[in-house]
A and B are shown apart, each in its own frame.
Chain A
Amino acid sequence: MKKLEFIYEDGPHKWAVVARDPEKPNFLIDTNEYLVVNGSEALLADPGGMEVFSAVFSAISAEVDPYTIRHLFASHQDPDVISSLALWLDFNPEIKCYLSCLWSSFIPHFGGTAETFIAIPDEGMGITLGNLALEAIPAHYLHSSGNFNLYDRKAKILFSGDVGAALLPPGEDGLFVENFDRHIRHAQGFHRRWMGSNAAKLNWCERVSRLDIDMLCPQHGAIYRGEDVKRFIDWFAALDVGSGIKE
């Protein structure tokens, strides 16, 4: 089953990742769900698909009271990101879901009411979790046309959604990137095929390189730490995206 692992702890302020499910069927892509906790309030970023709901829910419940989850953050509209929405709302109908204004009338097809959603404008917005300020950072066209990252300035963590994602083979699927050059081969195909705009990519790289980031956390694959964050941004800036269709 999936396990929750804390990746940042500073008193009541914590980040945890729910990752690596050995029982997951191979036809489902592996996903990382991130939980941001600030005291008695928590936000779950990219809560995952309906099929992995029980594994995610169990992993979280083993360490954190799931009633503390008051907010969901959907980086974009994909089923592996947010199709579990109806089940989370079944559990707690008061949960609010942050998502791009582009998708605020699409994602309700997965569940929810008019009161469930908080639409993020294209330019991004601040999200408060108790006394903690988080930021929805625009990452449009990477890969979705309405796409956001979540930045925690205090923890210096950027949840980057599909940016930085890698499809890791067994044996090379550690939680953190340990050997950048070896790891990035598994990210290359994904970024070339899923990311469609070089202009959007360069714009993102320019903005994100100005942020103070200790950890860059993608929805698939491994987490980049320290110098590997800059290495990734430089690598991504140089990559020709929108070029992944096999001839």
Chain B
Amino acid sequence: MVDVRSNTASQASDLHRVVKANEDIKKVIRISSGVNLVALNAMLTAKRSGERSRGFAVVSSELRVFSRKLEGAMTGLGALIFELVRDAAAMRKQHHERRHLLNIQARGQQMQKLIEPVLARMDERIHKTGGEIGRDWHQLRLQLNRVLQLCETGGSLSRSAKIEAVYGGDMSATLKQVANQIEETVNEIFSTLKLLRTQLAE
């Protein structure tokens, strides 16, 4: 069994780590809703450009699909954050209770004997919660990797948009501008998520 005391410091900081991760996730969700607007703008621009930008229209449509998938994946991350908050809060509560039990235990041998089984049950609960927190973080990292893989698709789409913009004839400059907008948005999501992955690995 893992020593409960040695884990206290890391468990106490779990809630802070969760909040930090959640702020990054919220940032990505905000940018993701921007992707949908950028994609819509791209589709309208492509439509105005007519036949010459058929390829750009296809890319824009795919970008909207990507935006929806990204939103779903980020909602999944949000749900995992909720699980983590629940378990981290439970851990803090259990540590508070444990501290009170230790105070009783310190009041002599008789008390120690009385409180020992209670403390043992408490340590078991803390160990179980610790395991759940570990699994939560693992799940969060896995889901984050899935989102990053999804973002690779976004990256490919932004590159395709740039290529298709070249074939836009008179509208080429406008399409390039939209393609750049797509690239900037996808890159911002990518860099935020990569930073988050680094933080989670620490």
Contact = CB atoms under 8 A, between A and B. Distances in A.
Contacts of A62: 22, 26, 78
Contacts of A57: 15, 85, 89
Given A54-B85, A54-B90, A58-B81, A67 B19 contact: yes
Contacts of A91: 15-16, 19
A35 to B, nearest CB: 15
Given A62-B78, A67-B19, 12 more contacts: A53-B93, A54-B85, A54-B90, A57-B85, A57-B89, A58-B86, A61-B22, A61-B85, A87-B93, A90-B12, A90-B15, A91-B16
B47 to A, nearest CB: 36
Interface string A52-93: 011101100110011100000000000000000011001100
A105 B90 CA distance: 26
A43 B185 CA distance: 34
A102 interface: no
| 4 smallest beta-carbon distances between A and B, as pairs | A54-B89, A54-B86, A58-B85, A58-B82
22 contacts: A1-B82, A53-B89, A53-B93, A54-B85, A54-B89, A57-B15, A57-B85, A57-B89, A58-B81, A58-B82, A58-B86, A61-B19, A62-B22, A62-B26, A65-B23, A86-B96, A87-B89, A87-B92, A87-B93, A91-B16, A91-B19, A111-B96
A53 B86 CA distance: 8
Interface of A: 1, 50, 53-55, 57-58, 61-62, 65-67, 86-87, 90-91, 111
Size range of the chain B interface in the assembly: 10 to 19
Contacts, number: 41
A34 B84 CA distance: 23
Contacts of B82: 1, 54, 58
A87 B96 CA distance: 9
A90 B16 CA distance: 10
Contacts of B88: 54
Contacts of A66: 19
A86 B15 CA distance: 14
Contacts of A1: 82
In this complex, the member of A55, A67, A91, A111 whose beta carbon has the largest number of chain B beta carbons within 10 angstroms is: A91
Interface string B10-21: 001001101100
Nearest to A59: B82
Nearest to B96: A86
Nearest to A91: B15
B78 A90 contact: no
A100 to B, nearest CB: 24
Interface in B86-134: 86, 88-90, 92-93, 96
A53 B85 CA distance: 9
Contacts of B96: 86, 111
A57 B84 CA distance: 11
A86 B96 CA distance: 9
A212 B15 CA distance: 40
A55 B87 CA distance: 11
A211 B52 CA distance: 66
A40 B8 CA distance: 31
A62 B12 CA distance: 21
Contacts of B22: 61-62
Contacts of A54: 82, 85-86, 88-90
Contacts of A86: 96
Interface in B18-73: 18-19, 22-23, 26
Nearest to B88: A54
B25 to A, nearest CB: 9
Contacts of B89: 53-54, 57, 87
A22 to B, nearest CB: 13
A62 to B, nearest CB: 7
Contacts of A111: 96
